[in-house]
Amino acid sequence: MAVELRYFNVMAKGIGPALVLEYSGIEWKGNKDLGFHGGLWADLKPKTPFGQLPMLTLPNGEIVAQTTAIINYIGKIAGTEGSGRDYALSQMLIGEAEDLYSLLQKFVPTSFVSIDKKLGVEAYTHFWAKTVGEHVGRLEVLCPSSGFGTTPGALYLFSILHQMVLACPGVHGGFWGATDEFRGLRQWYENTLDAPPTQKVAIAAMRICISVLAVHCCRRCRCSLGRAQWGRLYSTSSASTSSTLQHEAVAAGKNVSPGRCR
């Protein structure tokens, strides 16, 4: 029997577990198969361990909550967690992905939380111009020449990096910058993006959903703008051009002056 993954119709913390499941080969169902959507959340919330999503439901009805626990659990039952150095690296990447996600939550506006309700434009600009570059630089040093692979930690990091690529203000060559400074990391990111299991989860819309809303995650995760067709995970049928345009309008209005990316 299949395990079930439920999340809101936004990327945020749903993409990571969806990718880890898809790459694991385990049979799984997402929102689309389960008919789950935000309208059902109020009823479900009291039944979840922490009142939050994502949640994984096992065939025996037991629930696993907390993103990091979910992806680690999948890695263990599927045997994709790696061993030795691979396992250690996967765990490090889980920690780094969580750190990056917390930073995004702190500095990057969403459809419901404007930049002034975060830490403001200056902090936002500094975040993209300095902080992100430091993190990406360290990841580049850590990245083996063959890339980070497809362990749970690698896929979780990919899911957060991908949202950063989408949310980045986009000057000087976009997230990766104009130079080849982060070649190893970028190559691994692009290979992972193009790989069939990623494409199966993502479908083409992932490439056009350009917005701070890519990282949108809040108590009212019902905004249609952040939905990017994450295949089986999400029930949205299409990310329309008008949504994409709205994304850009919101991003332009909220981000004010885009700083240098990275």
Ligand X SMILES: N[C@@H](CCC(=O)N[C@@H](CS)C(=O)NCC(=O)O)C(=O)O
Interface with ligand X (CB under 6 A), residue from 53, 56, 205, 261? 53
Closest CA to 113 of 229, 243, 257, 226: 226
Judged by CB under 6 A, does residue 217 bind ligand X?
yes
User: How far is 21 from 15, CA to CA, in rounded Å?
Assistant: 10
Q: Which amino acid is at 86?
A: D
Non-local CB neighbours of 82 within 8 Å, separated by 6+ positions: 75, 89, 90, 149, 151
Judged by CB under 6 A, does residue 192 bind ligand X?
no
Q: Which is nearer to ligand X, 55 or 261 (CB)?
A: 55
Closest CA to 157 of 94, 230, 68: 94
DSSP 130: I
Interface with ligand X (CB under 6 A), residue from 57, 66, 191, 246? 66
Judged by CB under 6 A, does residue 105 bind ligand X?
no
Judged by CB under 6 A, does residue 211 bind ligand X?
no
Q: Which is nearer to ligand X, 65 or 193 (CB)?
A: 65
Q: Which is nearer to ligand X, 67 or 255 (CB)?
A: 67
We find the least distance from the C-beta atom of residue 107 to ligand X, in angstroms, to be 16
Judged by CB under 6 A, does residue 95 bind ligand X?
no
We find the least distance from the C-beta atom of residue 71 to ligand X, in angstroms, to be 10
Interface with ligand X (CB under 6 A), residue from 180, 194, 219, 237? 219
Strand positions, DSSP E, the chain: 3-6, 28-29, 55-57, 63-65
Contact region with ligand X (CB under 6 A), list: 47-55, 56-64, 139-147, 180-188: 47-55
How far from chain centre, in Å, is Cα 11? 5
Q: Which is nearer to ligand X, 44 or 88 (CB)?
A: 44
For residue 176, count other CB atoms closer than 10 A to its CB: 20
Q: Report which residue's Cβ sits closest to ligand X.
A: 52
Judged by CB under 6 A, does residue 223 bind ligand X?
no
Give the helix/strand (H/E) hosting 157: helix 152-167
Judged by CB under 6 A, does residue 85 bind ligand X?
no
Q: Check the CA dihedral 24-25-26-32 and report its sign.
A: positive
Residues in the chain: 262
Contact region with ligand X (CB under 6 A), list: 77-85, 111-119, 195-203, 215-223: 215-223
Residues that bind ligand X (CB under 6 A): 12-13, 45, 51-54, 66-67, 217, 219, 221
